[in-house]
Structure 1
Amino acid sequence: MKKITKLVALAAISTMILPVLAGCGSKAPTQEAPIKVAVAAPQTGDYAEYGTGFKNAVNLMAEEWNAKGGVLGRKIEVVVYDDKNNGEEAATIAEKIASDKSISAVIGHFASGVAMAATPKYQETGIVNISPSASHADFTKEGNFIFRNNTVISIESKAAVEIALNTLGKKKIGVLSVKTDWGTNTAGIVKKLIAELGGELVDHQEIVDGTVDFSPNISQLNSAGAEVVIVAAMYNTLAPLATQYKAVNKDIQFVGFSNAYSQQLIELAKENAEGIHFPAQFFSGSTKPEVSKFVEAYKAKYGSNPSSLTAQAYDSMGIILTAIQNAKSTDRAKIRDEVEKIQYSGVTGATKFNENRDSVRPFTVVKIEGGKFVEVK
């Protein structure tokens, strides 16, 4: 009887010890997989500055959230794709992103035409796509998963014309545009608005992207009596245009768009950048605490001030992460629902999306003065 009792006791002890020993030999529990957000934008080529800005801003926002524990208790990981600002490349990347179920949303692309080559796949597979820069009116028409954290070009064009007429007090307006879908569309809107708002269109010049010699265009605009030129092109066009034009007419004024509102413009045009005006939804010199904090963090990490489009990429990431947090899920459809109804307070101001999934925010008028961007009061 004693032997039986001892055997039962030993068996009981063994059942308690074995799990402990097994636990000592097992691996620690693995963490949940990170929540992934894709950035698709040019990382190489002529427009790499914009894509790099998107990448930097999104990474900065991810790092800030990760420092506070991530989202839904999981680390955030940014997956970067280089679309080379090319439509075919963007469509291929969209296939990869859409088919990777570990990716919850995508921020990008940069140029409207490139972005619109990718949106059909994002819409078809139901993944949220927020572009911080696409301004073509048709961008969000692809479907309800496509969002624009930028202004529709018709609204920005009106702001540009109002700067020419009201801020600068000029009536005789010339237009120079780049021969792209965006440039041609923008020029058409600007010309119509000039007439509607009481200005006089004196001439319109079109150039191909990469133009170096603007003398024929300057001659035509100057002969037509242009007092101000609204330039529907990026900084790599506006900088040499301003330099060459001011050698002929030092009094000429320019109004650019947000895609030319870049430190690179000042570096390329130098003193000839003085006085160029822009409608902008973000001003890095703002004294608002949230803006100052972002600018200081960005500059400390990347060595330069963020542009308006970079700030919009930063807020786009904040919108997506807040939507995931509110949805309590990485389900793509649930994220979409939360993005649609979000009211997000970010560095570019209070953002909400209208019925067309376009962000609604006011403009700030900015100009270059003393080699830096300043707000026009």
Structure 2
Amino acid sequence: MKKMKKWVGLGLVLAMTAGFTGCTNNSATSSESTSDSTSTTKETESTQSSESTETIKIAVAAPMTGDTAEYGIGFTNAAQLMADEWNANGGVLGQQIEIVPYDDKNSSEEAATIAQKIVSEGDIAGVIGHFSSGVCLTAAPIYQQNQIIEISPSASHPDYSLVGDYIFRNNTVIKSEAAASIDIATQDLGKKNIGIISIKTDWGTNTSQVIKDLVEQLGSDVKVVAHEEVVEGSDDYSPAITKLNEAGADVVICAGMYNLVAPVAKQYKQINPDIQIVGFSNAYSQQLIELGGDSVEGVCFPVIFFSESQDEKIKTYVDAFTKAYGTAPSALSSQAYDSVGMLLTAIEQAGTTDSQQVRKFLADLGYDGVTGYTKFDENGDVQKDFIKVTIKDGTFVKMD
């Protein structure tokens, strides 16, 4: 039943991806395209073992340049830190681990080219990435067809894991996180009139609809008073803010990253200093504080990982990451760190890098990492507990 369900999902996604842009920058497709690689048979390149190579290679495919480069760089740094820890203890299967970064520019077109290139390499043991859901949905069918394991630390669209049984996510689906954000707005902050501002991407559109549906289930006391969709990266959100404010919003849920939340907070508080703002875990970044300054004081969001935790394992990891890269890890970077750990553990347990064997061990793995205990369900999804975080005196703290 699982395999049938997966391949039904693949059919649906393949039908969608022609028009699926996700959170893209619409970068031009690279001249390195190797489109014929998608027809590679599973008996050849797709299961080709890297055991004959000098290192075991793990790809990190994510934006390394552009407006969302912080996420891809964070993924790469976290992956490298995990690889360094394994390498210091002898690597895996007697070989050292090599992290190979690929810049997809957060573009669906570029991601398709990158996925084809990774397939054509023939010696990649697995892929950590991509970042946004739309980009993941473009690349995942290529990995699935060629039986290459992909673990996204950030994709939240429900259709992503349905692409196939080689496709996993170390992140919750958006419905779970949206429910946590709404809980902060209504229970912790005690607000009833919700405004939504979302980026005009597939992720933003889908997330805003999920918020509306969940709020509607709460009954007549709580309602969405207005929803404004905006272009990501805009400098002026005042038209949308004015409409939300005139509609009587007393809390605004931002469906976007830190580069939406920070300017919205700045511009909104010029109109209404008392507005409460709730975001998502993709806004949990030091960049939010640096960009928003005093205006992001009191901004709240749910996260799976909290860098200020006093848990010894987390403190050790945060100290190592900060020492290596000069800043504390974000939640999504930490999910990338655990994703590499899970993949390496599955390779070790399988005793091979053969993707068919590794996939079986990964699907059954229970992994206790810095982002909590992870075990994939039959679709390759995970359920995790959220920590409610806010900004106080220029730093992230747990909500009381």
Q: Same fold (TM over 0.5)?
A: yes
Whole-angstrom CA distance in 2 between matches of 1:164 and 1:274? 15
Does residue 97 of structure 1 match 2:118?
Answer: yes
- Aligned ranges for residues 68-147 of structure 1 at < 5 Å? 68-147=89-168
- Aligned ranges for residues 1-377 of structure 1 at < 5 Å? 33-198=54-219, 199-377=222-400
Whole-angstrom CA distance in 2 between matches of 1:210 and 1:280? 23
| 2:342 match: secondary structure | helix
**Mean Cα displacement is larger for which, 260-269 or 208-217?**
208-217
1:174 positional shift: 0.5
Whole-angstrom CA distance in 1 between matches of 2:393 and 2:382? 32
Whole-angstrom CA distance in 2 between matches of 1:324 and 1:313? 17
Whole-angstrom CA distance in 2 between matches of 1:40 and 1:151? 19
Whole-angstrom CA distance in 2 between matches of 1:217 and 1:99? 45
**Mean Cα displacement is larger for which, 220-229 or 92-101?**
92-101
1:258 positional shift: 1.1
Whole-angstrom CA distance in 1 between matches of 2:233 and 2:61? 23
- Where do 5+ consecutive residues of structure 2 fail to align? 1-51
Q: What per-residue deviation string (whole Å, max 9, x for no partner) do you get for residues 182-225 of structure 1?
A: 00000000011112124211111111112211111111111111
Whole-angstrom CA distance in 2 between matches of 1:276 and 1:293? 27
Whole-angstrom CA distance in 2 between matches of 1:102 and 1:207? 41
Whole-angstrom CA distance in 1 between matches of 2:121 and 2:166? 16
1:32 positional shift: 6.0
State the one-letter code of the partner of 1:192. Answer: D
Partner of 2:8: none
State the one-letter code of the partner of 1:124. Answer: Q
Whole-angstrom CA distance in 1 between matches of 2:119 and 2:173? 25
TM-score, length of structure 2 as denominator length: 0.86
Q: Structure 1 runs of 4+ off > 2 angstroms?
A: none
Q: Name the CA shift for 1:298/1:332 in 2 (closer, same or farther; >3 Å).
A: same
Whole-angstrom CA distance in 2 between matches of 1:124 and 1:374? 43
Q: Is the 8 A contact 2:296 2:391 kept in 1?
A: yes
Q: What per-residue deviation string (whole Å, max 9, x for no partner) do you get for residues 124-162 of structure 1?
A: 000100000010111111100000100100111111111
Q: What per-residue deviation string (whole Å, max 9, x for no partner) do you get for residues 312-354 of structure 1?
A: 0000000000000010111011111111111000000101111
Q: Is the 8 A contact 2:53 2:123 kept in 1?
A: no
1:307 positional shift: 0.4
Whole-angstrom CA distance in 1 between matches of 2:127 and 2:118? 8
Q: What per-residue deviation string (whole Å, max 9, x for no partner) do you get for residues 277-297 of structure 1?
A: 111000000001110011000
Whole-angstrom CA distance in 1 between matches of 2:160 and 2:195? 27
State the one-letter code of the partner of 1:229. Answer: V
Q: What per-residue deviation string (whole Å, max 9, x for no partner) do you get for residues 59-95 of structure 1?
A: 0000000000000111111111000111111111111
| 1:360 match: secondary structure | coil
| 1:259 match: secondary structure | helix
State the one-letter code of the partner of 1:277. Answer: C
- Where do 5+ consecutive residues of structure 1 fail to align? 1-30
1:100 positional shift: 2.1
1:99 positional shift: 2.3
Q: What per-residue deviation string (whole Å, max 9, x for no partner) do you get for residues 33-71 of structure 1?
A: 211110000111111000000000000000000000000
Alignment length (residue pairs) = 347
Whole-angstrom CA distance in 1 between matches of 2:176 and 2:119? 31
Aligned alpha-carbon RMSD (Å): 1.0
State the one-letter code of the partner of 2:58. Answer: V
Q: Is the 8 A contact 2:301 2:389 kept in 1?
A: yes
Whole-angstrom CA distance in 1 between matches of 2:61 and 2:70? 13
